[in-house]
Amino acid sequence: MAILAAFVAMIGCSPFNKLLKLNDSEQMYTAAIRYYDEGDFQHALQLFQEITPRYASTMRADTIMYYTGCCYYKQGDFSTSGSIFDEYRRTYGRSPLLEDVEYMHAMGFYFSSPQPTRDQTATLQAISAISEFMERYPASPKLGVCEMRIEELKNKLYDKSFLNARTYYKTERYKAAIIAFRNALAEFPETPHREEILFLTLDSCYKLASNSISTLQVDRYLDAMDAYYNFVSEFPESKHRREAERMQRASKRYLAKHNADIDGVTPEEDGVAEE
């Protein structure tokens, strides 16, 4: 008990607690800045919160709000820091700290962006916020970092659209997969998944045709042929070329058998044994 009492007494007499008991606003402000500079954001935040109402409507009000937002930001609470920085932008539009505030506000969205398997609303917000920062501060030394962050965020969107479409493919919902793959390319033509998307579109078209009722097969095999030509025209050296050729031959045989005028090819002229 004696040791515990001594420990409690020691805590009670810590410099931080003495500072709180002293209740000197000027000393608390100076100490808060010092704690922040030393990386002790929790103690700094506690002091800034304590003195915020005391400095309301004074020359230090904007600085205290800035540091309060920074403390939350440095501790990873981007929701709270974002709210504070947003209020700061509306209240102190001419502050020399505004560029830094807007940068952290944008980066808060970046750090809040989830993995590609989850909803990407925060990712879109981050891209918008960072792009807005870059437009507003074209001479900022942070532009290089901003460009890299946007590329990272875009890659998440590419991954998300690809993974969503591939889910339909894996669950054998080929009609939905075809639509999703084509939408992914329409929305993000620069996606690094382009080759895989074009191949899986072909594969989905072929499998959809193969599993369709006879009245739908001609149109769907024609769709598979179109998907084949789209794929090989862009990626003639693809590792999937051999499998693509197999699907093209099978589609061509079916079409020739049911409509000899297609490409002017008959089953006999195709020269490939039916699988």
Q: What is the pLDDT of residues 123-154, one digit of tens each?
A: 999 999 999 999 999 999 999 999 999 999 99
CA distance 29 to 49: 10
Read off the pLDDT band of 18 (50, 70, 90): confident
Q: How far apart are CA 204 and CA 175, in angstroms?
A: 7
Q: What is the pLDDT of residue 20?
A: 82
User: Does residue 261 carry a pLDDT above 80?
Assistant: no
**Cβ pair 120, 113 in contact under 8 A:** yes
Residue 215 lies in a domain: yes
265 falls within a domain: yes
CA 109 to CA 82: how far, in whole Å?
8
In a domain, 213, yes or no: yes
pLDDT given at position 262: 52
User: Is position 208 within any domain?
Assistant: yes
In a domain, 59, yes or no: no
Domain assignment of residue 93, yes or no: no
pTM of the predicted protein model: 0.80
Q: How many domains does the chain have?
A: 1
**Domain annotation covers residue 197:** yes
The pLDDT of residue 264: 44
Identify the domain containing residue 232 by its residue range.
193-275
Alpha helix positions (H), 75-193: 78-91, 98-112, 121-136, 143-170, 174-187
Q: Is residue 129 part of a domain?
A: no
